[in-house]
């Protein structure tokens, strides 16, 4: 079978395209329904050219939405299946929260226990403070009344894990072609029959769209609506909700020796995520940064060469149709982080740890960040459209979701997956939306 005709055409060589290719190849072989060479992955740039290649790489279960937690637990199993190939560091994850989020965190803990996901919960001012000081002797943030310590998860190195996935897919016979851009889709009799690219048309039996922040474009090529009806849980119906909205992720690196950010025991800490409603003061001059709820996350990271992390993303003020996705990530003139983020994030680090006081000057001055395409409820859509076009639109939750590929692969072979049911597109019209938490992040 040559490149102009394939059974399975996957667009996008990020975490989802590559994991789907690998798992589909395995499944085809295991069921005798085909082989890896039935699958072609194309990417307009190359492996890791999108959001997966710039992701901070945090892997957590900590979601308020039960359906998200079950998906994440499944994905963590996949990360743990080959930590070396996926450059996965199983250091755990710590959610540190104020009273306003305490009930949410308690509920997450209870439900983690119900699905057998190992974590520890500490509540109350004094006990939280003691727990955090036992981990970090320089802990200083106050007003913390809930700590959830997930013993699994952690982080992975973005490009290294994609290379690991690509190698697994290629070992199964999958072909990956870089520098092939999809420019259109031909739909005949209600189904996709071929995809137009700048290297010629490719006929396919099944199309998988895994294009991250570029989903807006292929969605439009498929003739899908840019406005949708969203029925809210309170009975309100929004008939003209934008299908896509862009948010700019805010991340950066403090250029300190990552080895200096350890636990009191000298071992690597879990990824730390702190939400707080304490006023945040500028670490250099004591002026007010914010008196609104704020949140940050951070980890020592040897591939980034420092303490790397981020803060709540910023909604892009333009309509999705007007957003320039290219050039992407750190190459973008518009969507790399600015001074407000640097001030907020470094001040927040100093708010939490004595060791980071006065370290603002060590913030690495290089472009960082990237944008993500969010759905109307900020949760993923995993669904089939036009009979044979499977869209993986993760609403920017997705580097950690390395397991989606396995579930999608099964659905491509007509084995419906209950874990994916809560993420169908028709939930917007029918009002089966996910619950909303008190977190300052649109993705928790």
Q: List residues binding ligand FAD (CB under 6 A).
A: 11-17, 42-45, 49-52, 54-58, 181-182, 210-214, 249, 251, 369-370, 372, 392, 394, 396-400
CB neighbours (10 Å) of residue 40?
24
Nearer to ligand FAD (CB atom), residue 73 or residue 122 = 73
Q: How far is the CB of 442 from ligand FAD (least distance, A)?
A: 12
Rg (CA), the chain: 22
- CA 195 – CA 185 distance, rounded (Å): 4
Minimum CB separation of residue 130 from ligand FAD in Å reads: 29
- Shorter beta-carbon distance to ligand FAD: residue 122 or 381: 381
Three-class secondary structure of residue 149 per DSSP? strand
DSSP β-ladder status, 88-89 and 58-59: unpaired
Minimum distance from CB of 124 to ligand FAD (Å)? 29
Q: Which is nearer to ligand FAD, 65 or 396 (CB)?
A: 396
Q: Which is nearer to ligand FAD, 122 or 316 (CB)?
A: 316
Q: Is there a cis peptide before residue 324, judged by omega within 30 degrees of 0? A: no
Toward ligand FAD, which CB reaches closer, 52 or 129? 52
CB of 236 to ligand FAD, least distance (A): 28
List the structure tokens of 13: 């060589």
Distance of CA 57 to the CA centre of its chain: 8
Instruction: Please state the closest distance from residue 53 (CB atom) to ligand FAD, in A.
Output: 6
By beta-carbon proximity to ligand FAD, the closer residue of 14 and 258 is: 14
Q: Please tell me the distance from the alpha carbon of residue 83 to that of residue 226, in angstroms, as a whole number.
A: 39
Kindly provide the residue ranges of all beta strands, DSSP E only, lying in 277-407, ordered along the sequence.
Answer: 280-281, 288-290, 294-301, 306-315, 370-374, 381-385, 389-393
State in angstroms the smallest separation of the CB of 129 from ligand FAD.
27
Q: Tokens standing for 68?
A: 């998200």
**Mind giving me the DSSP string for 83-104?**
TTTTTEE---EEEEE-HHHHHH
């Amino acid at each position: 079978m040559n490149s102009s005709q394939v059974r399975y055409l996957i667009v996008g060589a990020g975490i989802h395209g590559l994991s789907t290719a690998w798992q589909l190849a395995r499944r085809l072989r295991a069921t005798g329904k085909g082989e890896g060479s039935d699958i072609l992955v194309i990417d307009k740039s190359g492996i890791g050219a999108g959001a997966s290649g710039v992701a901070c790489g945090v892997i957590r279960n900590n979601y308020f939405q039960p359906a998200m937690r079950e998906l994440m637990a499944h994905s963590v199993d996949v990360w743990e299946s080959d930590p070396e190939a996926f450059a996965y560091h199983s250091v755990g994850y710590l959610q540190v929260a104020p009273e306003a989020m305490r009930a949410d965190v308690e509920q997450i803990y209870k439900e983690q226990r119900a699905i057998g996901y190992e974590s520890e919960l500490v509540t109350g001012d004094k006990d939280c403070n003691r727990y955090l000081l036992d981990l970090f002797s320089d802990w200083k943030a106050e007003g913390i009344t809930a700590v959830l310590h997930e013993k699994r998860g952690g982080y992975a190195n973005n490009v290294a894990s994609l290379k690991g996935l690509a190698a697994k897919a290629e070992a199964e016979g999958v072909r990956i072609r870089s520098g092939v851009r999809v420019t259109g889709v031909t739909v005949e009799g209600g189904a996709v029959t071929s995809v137009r690219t700048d290297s010629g048309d490719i006929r396919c039996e099944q199309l998988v769209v895994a294009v991250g922040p570029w989903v807006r474009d292929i969605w439009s090529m498929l003739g899908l609506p840019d406005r949708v009806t969203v029925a809210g849980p309170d009975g309100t119906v929004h008939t003209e909700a934008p299908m896509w909205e862009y948010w700019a992720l805010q991340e950066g690196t403090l250029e300190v020796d990552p080895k200096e950010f350890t636990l009191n025991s000298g071992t690597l800490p879990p990824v730390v995520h702190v939400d707080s409603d304490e006023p945040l003061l500028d670490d250099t001059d004591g002026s007010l940064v914010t008196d609104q709820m704020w949140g940050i996350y951070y980890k020592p990271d040897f591939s980034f060469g420092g303490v790397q992390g981020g803060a709540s993303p910023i909604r892009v003020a333009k309509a999705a149709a007007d957003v320039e996705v290219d050039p992407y990530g750190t190459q973008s003139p518009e969507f790399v982080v600015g001074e407000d983020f640097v001030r907020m994030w470094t001040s927040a680090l100093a708010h939490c740890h004595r060791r980071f006081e006065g370290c603002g000057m060590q913030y690495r001055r290089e472009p960082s960040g990237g944008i993500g395409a969010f759905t109307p409820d900020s949760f993923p859509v995993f669904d089939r459209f036009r009979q044979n076009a499977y869209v993986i639109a993760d609403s920017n939750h997705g580097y950690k979701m390395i397991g989606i590929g396995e579930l999608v692969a099964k659905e491509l072979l007509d084995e419906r997956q209950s874990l994916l049911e809560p993420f169908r597109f028709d939930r917007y019209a029918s009002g089966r939306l996910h619950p909303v938490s008190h977190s300052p992040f649109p993705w928790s």
